[in-house]
Chain A
Amino acid sequence: MTAYRVEVRVMPRAALLDPQGQAVEHALHALGFNGVARVRVGKHLVLDLDAPSGDAAAAQVRIMCDRLLANPVTEDFDVAVRTT
């Protein structure tokens, strides 16, 4: 078993309204960052996991995402694995 650090990025589905992203975008415009567009706010989760391989770690975390960490109706996720 190897210790892996897994980072999960969970983002609201592109097709869905993301009011948090819009609010942040408006605030950035108010600060003068006028070139900013399409701001979206998601979640970043970091976890440590013992697994036989990096692929196995990623596979486990994808199951965690399907079951709990992301809502398949509203969110997309991606998983990045590295050794600690």
Chain B
Amino acid sequence: MRRVAVVVFPGSNCDADTVAAARAAGSDAYRVWHRATDLQQADVVILPGGFSYGDYLRSGAIARFSPVMAAVSAHARAGGAVLGICNGFQTLCEAGLLPGALMRNARLRFLSRPAWVRVEAVETPFTGLYEQGEVLEIPIAHGDGRFVADPRTAAELEAQGQVVWRYVRDNPNGSTDAIAGICNAGRNVVGIMPHPERRTAPVLGGDDGARVFQSMEAGNATQHAVDVRAVGDHHLRV
């Protein structure tokens, strides 16, 4: 059972759904307030959706300086798995843990509706249980979802297989190359604009998002055996 810290910023509003989705996948998920400096031996950190700090200045721009973000960065730099959903994705970009940025939707409207994404990369901690090329229906709910990166970065993302999800059927927000989610070069930090935690059971309209959390939980066995030793209160990555 993986320990999953879901960070709560002032204005986060998808934290409860995210905790529920992670628990449904079998994880030991708990909330961590943004003022915390300790992630309580988290194996995985999730930055949930919402409107941290009212999206003032830019989405995620102020959240990235929250006290907890130092621990999140240290966790990411040590190779720990991090997932940013929607506002969490924006925050990871602002923090420099993922390349690029998310700007106002091309047609300006806030979009809250189903979207379709193709799984482009299965070698991440959050997509291991999907098939390459599988198309998923997952809702979007964002005003600032247009992924942009300079041409060199965008080409690098493609060449290194760092585009994890891509919009199909339409490109709802005008993202560069229809990018819906990416990972970093180390593949341990992942960001996605759609909300997989909102499609984790048939009663929610479908369960296409459930395997994001099941993949994360399935990483347990190998990751713990190979990468992590628990020593006292600390996890040492070796």
Residues of A within 8 A of B (CB): 12, 16-17, 19-20, 23, 68-69, 71, 73-74
Contact = CB atoms under 8 A, between A and B. Distances in A.
Nearest to B109: A19
Nearest to A45: B57
Nearest to B64: A68
A26 to B, nearest CB: 11
Given A16-B103, A16-B148, A17-B174, A71 B58 contact: yes
Contact of A74 (B65, B101, B107): B101
Nearest to B99: A73
Contacts of B104: 19-20
Contact of B61 (A16, A23, A71): A71
Contacts of B148: 16, 73-74
A12 B101 CA distance: 12
The secondary structure that dominates the A interface is mixed
B108 interface: yes
A71 B108 contact: no
The secondary structure that dominates the B interface is loop
A74 B61 contact: no
Interface string B140-173: 0000001011100000000000000000000000
Contacts of A12: 103
B57 A73 contact: no
Nearest to A72: B101
A19 B100 contact: no
A20 B100 CA distance: 20
B73 interface: no
B146 to A, nearest CB: 8
A45 B107 CA distance: 26
Contacts of B101: 71, 73-74
